[in-house]
Chains A and B, each alone.
Chain A
Amino acid sequence: MLMKILQKTAKNKLINTLEYKPELCINCGMCSTVCPHGVFQPGKDTAQMVRFEACMECGACQLNCSVNAIKVESGEGCANAMILAALKIRKEACCGESCCEK
């Protein structure tokens, strides 16, 4: 049973880093409002995480949750910046202010 939980957690971590603690939720509804992919939906007493795999780690839910019930590793996911960081050519995974010009 424990093995199954550990394996599922490990597998989930490969997909995204979203963590939700319903026991902390005060049912304010902000996460359901701000999520662009419907990961959270309003529930009777607490928010429901209904689409874990759809999370793109933008961090909107974490930032707008006043009781810190949601954790996620948001940050820039620019492929080029991350490759350069991995090769140690750059210190952090960001090309600087001038990039991200979409």
Chain B
Amino acid sequence: MKTEDTQTESYICDSIITSANRWDHFLARFGWRRSHHRVKPGLYKLGNPTQESLVFVSANYTLSFDVLRSSLKGIDCYILVLDTKGINVWCAAGKGTFGTDELVHRIEMTKLSEVVKHRTIILPQLGAPGVCAYEVRKRSGFKVEYGPVRALDLPKYLETRTANAEMRRVRFNLKDRLVLIPVENKAFLFIMIVVIFTGLFTQDIWKSLQIFGTLITGLVLFPILLPWIPTRDFTTKGFLLGGVAVIMIYSLPSYLMNGIVGGALVFETLINMLIMTPVVAYLALNFTGSTTFTSRTGVKREIFKYIPILAVMIISGIVLSVIRS
């Protein structure tokens, strides 16, 4: 027997984003206690809603909830928050937690049909991969209206209750890419450990810095430069960027600072290319999971096409470097 069969008390919220909220968003982006950034699921009152007021639906990730309520400034309405386990709308929709069952369940639990007279709920468009609108209508009596992709477009949307094509498109511009860089915070922590250990082991700070530079190329430079790097596959983009990085971080300093030239420089560059460009290519491939446009089929194809090549390159590089020493 479930402990919460009904949840008819509603919560209050406002449209103000405090500095505590902003700090919470910052921590969430950097993965600090990532699963803790949640609000309680249930029905929230924004302003002074009546039985005629609009009902908006959100995920219970603080960032999702906050961007919705702050975009609805001055509007009296209800916000129905689903339990998406602290995950944002689009990812939760893909997983199914921002989904038909949870939506119907939450409508039942909050007795929404007794709170408002109308039968419309406004969902973020990116909830659609998880929500079957016609099934929600059948099971709950509520009609799903898909609002715009971005909550910020809601005031404009609400003027006509229609969205233009631009409001229904997802973009992936520089700012969007920048905020996703800290998602790989665990990888970044791992890098720092590798860098520190290399430094302690080889007693050579320069070597540490070189490894750091290569890994930062994959984790930070790649997301930034993504649309400007040639080729369509992320792995090949990573190879190209990694190749340039090896030359800038290893070959050029070897030539300029240590005067290494000719066959020795070529051999050294070869080894570094064999080991380091696959690392950058792998980090690039991994970034597909953070983008808004790569397909499952495309990622699968890249894995089967390139991972064996990456493995062979790294092994060859290690073998050659063992031979060299």
A residues sitting closer than 8 Å to B (CB atoms) are 13-17, 30, 33-38, 54-60, 63-64, 66, 73-80, 82-83, 86, 97-98, 100-102
Give 18 A-B pairs besides A56-B294, A56-B295 with Cβ atoms closer than 8 angstroms.
A16-B298, A17-B297, A30-B133, A33-B125, A34-B146, A35-B168, A36-B126, A36-B169, A58-B129, A64-B133, A73-B296, A76-B95, A77-B299, A79-B285, A79-B303, A82-B299, A100-B94, A102-B180
Please encode chain B, from 116 to 157, with 1 for each CB lying within 8 Å of some chain A CB and 0 for all others: 000000000110111111100000000000100100000000
Q: What mask results when residues 281 to 323 of chain B are scored 1 for a CB within 8 Å of chain A, else 0? A: 0000110111011111111111110010000000000000000
A98 to B25, CA, bound (A): 19
Please pick, from A57, A66, A100, the residue contacting B295 in the complex, using a CB distance under 8 A.
A57
Q: Which of A16, A36, A37, A79 contacts B288 (CB 8 A)?
A: A79
Is B165 positioned at the interface, with any CB of A under 8 Å from its CB? Answer: yes
Query: Chain B contacts of A15 at CB under 8 A?
Result: 295, 297-298
- Describe A's contact surface by its main secondary structure: loop
CB 8 Å contact bits of B95-113 with A (1 = contact, 0 = none): 1000000000000000000
Contacts of A80 in B (CB 8 A): 286, 289
The complex places the Cα of A66 from the Cα of B300 at a distance, in Å, of 29
Q: Which residue of A is nearest B301, CB measured?
A: A14
Cα–Cα distance between A76 and B286 once the two chains are bound (Å)? 13
| Residues of chain B contacted by A100 (CB below 8 angstroms) | 87, 91, 94-95
Decide yes or no whether B170 CB sits under 8 A from chain A.
Answer: yes
Report yes or no: A37 in contact with B169, Cβ–Cβ below 8 A: yes
Residue pair A102, B296 in contact (C-beta under 8 Å) = no
Neighbour of A64 across the interface among B35, B132, B168, CB < 8 A: B132
Contact A36 to B168, CB < 8 A, known contacts A77-B300, A79-B289, A97-B85: yes
Q: How far does the Cβ of A93 sit from chain B's closest Cβ, in whole Å?
A: 9
| Residue from the list B87, B129, B288, B298 in contact with A101, Cβ < 8 A | B87
B295 touches A82 (CB 8 A): no
Is there contact, CB below 8 Å, between B125 and A36? Answer: yes
Q: What size tier do the contact residues of chain B reach?
A: 35 or more
Q: Residues of B with Cβ closer than 8 Å to A? A: 31, 34-35, 85, 87-88, 91, 93-95, 125-126, 128-134, 146, 149, 163, 165, 168-170, 180, 183, 285-286, 288-290, 292-304, 307
State the Cβ distance, B29 to closest chain A Cβ, in Å. 9
Q: What are the 9 tightest A-B residue pairs by CB atom distance, in nearest-first order?
A: A77-B296, A60-B128, A34-B128, A36-B170, A60-B129, A57-B295, A58-B129, A101-B34, A16-B295
Q: In the bound complex, do residue A102 and residue B290 qualify as a contact, i.e. CB atoms below 8 Å apart?
A: yes
- Contacting residues, chain B, for A30 (C-beta < 8 A): 133
Minimal beta-carbon separation of B121 from chain A (angstroms):
15
A77 x B87 contact (CB < 8 A): no
Chain A: minimal CB distance from B132 (Å): 5
B27 to chain A, nearest CB (A): 13
Which residues of the other chain, A, contact B302 by a CB distance below 8 angstroms?
79
